């Protein structure tokens, strides 16, 4: 069943759990997430980025997710992640996305308000929910900045932004970072800032750049030829602290990529005579599924469908 992010996230914030928002890029990642959600009886958000649209084609990737939503016995949202323009958001709405993000965080405050308000004005009459971002995350995925240029979300600005735009959900910058090399030292989110935002803003909040980069996956990848020394992510105890403070959606991409890559490398090294893609990509799909199931349990969404 295809639903909006808002449909999933309002109950999540109210009841103290979060929905995993997993980036899908191909058949294997989509199947992994659909199977994980079904087995965990968890609502789920499948996210598609502009770069994936360019890679896979809007019609191909969106129809994969639509098929999953039709067949899965759990609520599924199809969401545009980091929409880079009004035009991209409109194409996704017209294609049947149930939710879109317009990322105006690289504009000044008024510019971000203007483009977000414009998307909201078109999306809401069509029953599509809208996510926006206030603040800038460091990192290396999609649209992100150097660590020195990252800007944390101002609580007072968040209030004004939500009032002016009518946006449904808000991604906040509280110290997370995109990619596998998130931090030079131990990660620590600005939970006090999150608490202040949550007290002032009633809509569900979103945590981007939130992969935990499990070390067992990094070690597995390195064992089979990857070069990922020093990769680290968000400690899991930070999720547990952030969710009660209003975080109702947690984005996961890097952990899935790592699980996929590590398992493909393993299959190629251990079975050098194999040339059947199903025997290479099948185990990678299963590895992504197990990662997703673990996140659903951690976020508290298992059993909520």
Please identify every residue annotated as catalytic: 81
Query: Alpha carbon of 277 to those of 89, 216, 274: distances in Å?
Result: 34, 25, 8
In degrees to the nearest 10, what's the CA dihedral of 152, 212, 245, 113?
40
Three-state DSSP state, 229 = coil
Closest CA to 78 of 94, 62, 91, 90: 62
Rounded-to-integer distance, Cα 122 and Cα 62, Å: 20
Residue 167 near residue 131, CB atoms below 8 Å: yes
Q: Which two tokens stand for residue 264?
A: 């493909």
């Amino acid at each position: 069943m295809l639903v909006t992010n808002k449909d999933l996230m309002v109950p999540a914030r109210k009841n103290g759990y979060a929905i995993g928002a997993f980036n899908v890029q191909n058949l294997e990642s989509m199947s992994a997430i659909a199977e994980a959600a079904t087995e965990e009886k968890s609502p789920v958000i499948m996210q598609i980025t502009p770069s994936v649209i360019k890679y896979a084609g809007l019609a191909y990737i969106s129809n994969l997710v639509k098929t999953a939503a039709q067949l899965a016995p759990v609520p599924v949202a199809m969401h545009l992640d980091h929409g880079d323009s009004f035009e991209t958001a409109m194409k996704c709405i017209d294609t049947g996305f149930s939710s879109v993000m317009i990322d105006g965080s690289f504009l000044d405050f008024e510019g971000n308000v203007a483009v977000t308000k414009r998307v909201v004005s078109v999306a809401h009459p069509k029953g599509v929910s809208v996510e926006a971002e206030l603040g800038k995350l460091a990192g290396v995925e999609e649209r992100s900045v150097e660590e020195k240029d990252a800007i944390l979300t101002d609580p007072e600005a968040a209030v004004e932004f939500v009032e002016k735009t009518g946006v449904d959900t808000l991604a906040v910058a509280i110290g997370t970072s995109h990619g596998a090399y998130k931090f030079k030292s131990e990660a620590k989110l600005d939970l006090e800032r999150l608490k202040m935002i949550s007290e002032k803003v009633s809509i569900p909040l979103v945590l981007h750049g939130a992969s935990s980069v499990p070390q067992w996956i990094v070690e597995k990848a390195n064992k089979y030829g990857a070069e990922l020394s020093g990769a680290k992510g968000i400690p899991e105890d930070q999720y547990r602290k952030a969710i009660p403070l209003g975080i109702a959606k947690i984005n996961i991409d890097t952990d899935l990529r790592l699980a996929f890559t590590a398992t493909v490398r393993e299959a190629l090294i251990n079975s050098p005579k194999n040339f059947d893609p199903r025997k290479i990509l099948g185990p990678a799909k299963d590895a992504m599924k197990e990662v997703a199931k673990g996140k659903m349990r951690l976020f508290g969404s298992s059993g909520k469908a």
